[in-house]
Amino acid sequence: MVQADRLWKRLQELGDIGRDASGGVTRFSYSCDEWAAKERVRYWMQQAGLDTWEDAVGNLFGRREGTDAAAPAVWLGSHLDSVAHGGNFDGPLGVLAAIEVVQSMTEASVQTRHPIEVVVFEDEEGARFGFGMIGSRAVAGRLAPAELDRHRDAQGRSLGWAMQAYGMDPAQIDRAVRSSSEVFAYLELHIEQGRVLESQGLPIGIVSGIAGPLWLNFTFKGMSGHAGATPMTLRQDALAAAAEAMLVMEQVAQDVPGCVATVGKLTVQPGGVNIIPGVVSLTLDLRNAIESLRNQAEQRILEQVEKACLRRNVDVTVQTLQRIAPVECAPSLRGVLHQSCEELGVSGFDLVSGAGHDGMQLVDLCPVGMVFVPSREGISHQPEEWTSPVDCIMGTQVLYQAALHLAKEGIVQ
Chain contacts with Mn ion (rule: CB under 5 A): 90-91
CB of 86 to ligand GLV, least distance (A): 9
Beta 279-288 vs 266-269: how paired, if at all? antiparallel
Contact 305, 316 (CB under 8 A): yes
Q: Which does 77 bind (CB under 5 to 8 A by kind): Mn ion, ligand GLV, none?
A: none
Residues pairing with 353 in the sheet: 210
| Integer Cα distance of 144 and 368 in angstroms | 22
Q: Which residues contact 105 (CB under 8 A, 6 or more apart)?
A: 64, 112, 116, 400, 403, 404
CB of 126 to ligand GLV, least distance (A): 6
Q: Measured from the CB atom, is 92 or 213 closer to ligand GLV? A: 213
Q: Measured from the CB atom, is 277 or 326 closer to Mn ion? A: 326
Q: Which residues contact 40 (CB under 8 A, 6 or more apart)?
A: 13, 14, 17
Q: Which does 356 bind (CB under 5 to 8 A by kind): ligand GLV, Mn ion, none?
A: ligand GLV
Q: Measured from the CB atom, is 213 or 383 closer to ligand GLV? A: 213
Q: Which does 153 bind (CB under 5 to 8 A by kind): Mn ion, ligand GLV, none?
A: none
Q: Measured from the CB atom, is 58 or 356 closer to ligand GLV? A: 356
Q: Which does 222 bind (CB under 5 to 8 A by kind): Mn ion, ligand GLV, none?
A: none
CB of 4 to ligand GLV, least distance (A): 26
Max alpha carbon distance in the chain (Å)? Answer: 79
Q: Measured from the CB atom, is 125 or 244 closer to ligand GLV? A: 125
CB of 287 to Mn ion, least distance (A): 13
Q: Which does 391 bind (CB under 5 to 8 A by kind): Mn ion, ligand GLV, none?
A: none
CB of 383 to ligand GLV, least distance (A): 15
Q: Which does 213 bind (CB under 5 to 8 A by kind): ligand GLV, Mn ion, none?
A: ligand GLV
Q: Measured from the CB atom, is 356 or 369 closer to ligand GLV? A: 356
CB of 64 to ligand GLV, least distance (A): 28
CB of 191 to Mn ion, least distance (A): 8
Q: Measured from the CB atom, is 208 or 339 closer to ligand GLV? A: 208
Environment class of 401 (CB within 10 Å of its CB; exposed 0-12, middle 13-18, buried 19+): buried
Q: Measured from the CB atom, is 268 or 355 closer to ligand GLV? A: 355
| Integer Cα distance of 126 and 325 in angstroms | 16
| Integer Cα distance of 23 and 264 in angstroms | 20
Q: Which does 293 bind (CB under 5 to 8 A by kind): ligand GLV, Mn ion, none?
A: none
CA-only gyration radius of the chain, Å: 23
Task: Name the site residues for ligand GLV (rule: CB under 6 A).
Answer: 125, 213, 355-356
Which among 69, 70, 87, 77 is positioned nearest to 22, based on CA atoms? 87
Q: Which does 117 bind (CB under 5 to 8 A by kind): ligand GLV, Mn ion, none?
A: none
CB of 215 to ligand GLV, least distance (A): 9
